[in-house]
Every structure is written in C-alpha cells, then in structure tokens.
C-alpha cells in the first residue's frame, strides 16, 4: 500500500463520490430515522455478526418494548433475553444493559460524545464507539467493521491479514486521514453500505461502484485477492442428547448457568454423550446430572448448531421422567410460562419439531 496514495485533491474527490452515492442509494432502515444515540447504539450491537434483514424486526420490537434508555437499563433480564431470543451472542445484550446503566448513573443519562468516555462503557469497542460518535454526534471517528475493511483493502490494496488485531491500526491510519470532517456520518455509513451492497465478498459489482476509479484492486484485476484473511480457528465438536419431557400438559425445562455460553437462557434437559453410548448409558448420564430417571421414547429431528468456536450435534428424544424432584434450575412449566422464557436457537428448533410432529402436548 502506498501511504501517499490519497493526496488532497484525491481525498476530496473520494469523499464527494462516496457521500453522494450514499445519500442517493442508502437503504431506508428504522435506526436511520433520527440520530438518537440510544437507537444507534442498540442497532449497532444488534448488527454485530447479524444480517440487516434479520435485525430489523428485532430492533422494532426492542424499541417498542424499551422506548427509552432507562426502560431498558433497569428491565428484568428475562424480559431482555426474551426480546433478544434468536439473535445469539447474548453477552452483547447483557453488556449493553450494563453500559446503559453506566450512562444513566455516571453520565447523567447522556451517551458520551468523546472517544475516551465512550470506550469506558461495558462492551463498547472501537467500532461501536466510532459508529455512535460519527452518526449521532458528527465526530470524525472511523467505524471499521468487516465491510469497511473489505472496501478499503481493495481500494488501497492493503495486504495485511485482517484477522490480526494489529492490522486494524493500518485501516485506522488510512481512515483518520480520509474521513470527511464535515459529514463523517454519511462517510462511515457510505463505506458500510458499499461493503454490504456493492463491494461484496465474492461477487463485487465494480461497474456500479462509485469508488471504482479510486480502487487499486479493480485497476489491477485483483478484487478477489482482498481482503487478506488467514483463518486459523479450530472448532470443537460436542455430541449432546436433549429430551422433551411432558407431565400434565407441562414441559420440563432447565435454566443454564449464570455465566459462560448462553448464560441464564433456558433449554431442555441435555447431557453430553459419546458416539457409542447406548440407552442405558444415556439414562445413567441423566440420573447423574439431574437425579431423575428417564424413559426414552421417540426420536425427533437431529439439530446441528455452529458457534464461532464449537459445533453442537444434538440428538433429540421425547421422554418420560420419573422420581423427579423440582430444583431451582430444573422445573416443569406450563405452555404459557414457557412462552415467556428465552431459549437459544437450537432449542427453539427442537420445540418446533416437537410441535410439528406431535401436534399437541398430550402425554404419551
């Protein structure tokens, strides 16, 4: 990459081309209706690792339920997890609630407008800080996400591996110099929008791109060589068995631990099993973990769920439970009560399969 690639004239031309394109082509999204930092903050947290089309209904339900920052900051955690149910990465919403309490208690309810202060909030990293500061407060702070790195790595032919944290400094250096000081909100959102709609990972639409004339990768026919991404993530596979057990129109559920993966969410009783475990070994696993006997019945569709660092392979069966003693975290609940509990996606799939196959909650 040539550090002198953008001279003064070229910088201004780049900014004008980008912002003009954005103002003409930007998508109509609910969090773009105003520049309320609360709404922008919530949307940016939801959009991490999640597609825009998926986020829209979640965002609208969230804002209907928690109209103000204070409504959300002091809401019951179960209510928050239920609204977030299905979005995944549940630590995001817990950190968001903690951070908004910080804003109320330490910043008089006003989202900070300086980088140092906003980075002091729980769960707020450089990208989220840049997005809030630029969009809500028109501060010339870059917001560097995957879309932005893809666009700028192609424009400038940045050969550094984007999986390395140190690479972010390269993009920061380029973008602090390049960002439009008058309209940083449109500049940042324009780069994000081009990355999402035009400069896509596998089929960039270069002929439609307003940055085509600035793009070194396009000029050299190397668009698909960027961004450089060397992924070395090893995933662990875990074999599980979950049961859906009924008693008098009630469903047996378990609340997960208060920390760790999917903390505090609900699931159906689940044990880790080996590839060669027979029914007796599985029954023994349930007895050791929960203290009750299970009579395994019908198999339901297998569920596979991929996390960033591991893969769940889950066999699912209906079952009858005997010698059950209610516990703090394991209990039978009514269908109405269950509708208020937040379940991770794999357990939502199990329940949907059960309803589709069984049709009702009649005991077997």
Q: Which residues are catalytic?
A: 44
Is residue 295 within 8 A of residue 245, CB to CB? The reply is no
Report which DSSP code applies to 224: G
Rg of the chain's alpha carbons, rounded to an integer?
A: 25
Closest CA to 134 of 40, 238, 235: 40
Quote the CA–CA distance of 130 and 142 in Å, as a whole number: 5
Is residue 66 within 8 A of residue 89, CB to CB? The reply is no
Quote the CA–CA distance of 101 and 75 in Å, as a whole number: 11
Is residue 234 within 8 A of residue 199, CB to CB? The reply is no
- Specify burial of residue 234 (Cβ count, 10 A radius: 0-12, 13-18, 19+): exposed
């Amino acid at each position: 990459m040539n550090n002198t690639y953008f001279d003064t004239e070229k910088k201004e031309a780049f900014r004008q081309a980008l912002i003009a394109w954005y103002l003409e082509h930007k998508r109509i999204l609910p969090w773009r209706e105003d520049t309320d930092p609360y709404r922008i903050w919530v949307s940016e947290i939801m959009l991490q690792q999640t597609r825009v089309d998926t986020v829209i209904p979640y965002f609208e339900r969230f804002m209907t339920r928690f109209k103000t920052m204070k409504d959300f900051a002091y809401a019951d955690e179960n209510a928050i997890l239920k609204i977030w149910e299905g979005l995944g990465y549940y630590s995001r919403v817990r950190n968001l609630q903690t951070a908004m309490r910080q804003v109320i208690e330490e910043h008089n309810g006003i989202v900070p407008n300086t980088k140092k202060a906003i980075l002091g909030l729980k769960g707020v990293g450089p990208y989220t800080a840049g997005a809030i500061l630029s969009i809500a407060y028109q501060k010339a702070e870059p917001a560097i996400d995957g879309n932005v790195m893809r666009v700028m790595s192609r424009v400038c032919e940045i050969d550094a591996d984007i999986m390395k944290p140190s690479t972010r400094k390269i993009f920061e250096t380029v973008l602090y110099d390049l960002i439009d000081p008058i309209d940083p909100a449109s500049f940042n959102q324009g780069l994000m929008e081009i990355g999402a709609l035009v400069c896509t990972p596998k089929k960039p639409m270069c002929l439609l791109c307003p940055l085509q004339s600035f793009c070194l990768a396009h000029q050299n026919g190397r668009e698909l060589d960027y961004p450089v991404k060397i992924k070395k993530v090893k995933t662990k596979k875990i074999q599980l068995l979950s049961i859906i057990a009924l008693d008098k129109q009630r469903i047996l559920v378990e609340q997960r631990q208060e920390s760790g993966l999917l903390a505090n969410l609900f699931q159906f009783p689940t044990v880790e099993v080996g590839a060669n475990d027979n029914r007796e070994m599985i029954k023994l696993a349930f007895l050791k973990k929960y203290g009750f006997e299970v009579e395994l019945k019908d198999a339901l569709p297998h569920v596979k769920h991929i996390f960033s660092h591991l893969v769940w392979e889950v066999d699912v069966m209906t079952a009858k439970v005997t010698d059950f003693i209610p516990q703090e975290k394991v209990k039978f609940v009514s269908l109405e009560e269950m509708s208020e509990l937040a379940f991770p996606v794999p357990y939502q799939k199990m329940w949907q399969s059960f309803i589709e196959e069984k049709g009702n909650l009649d005991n077997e």
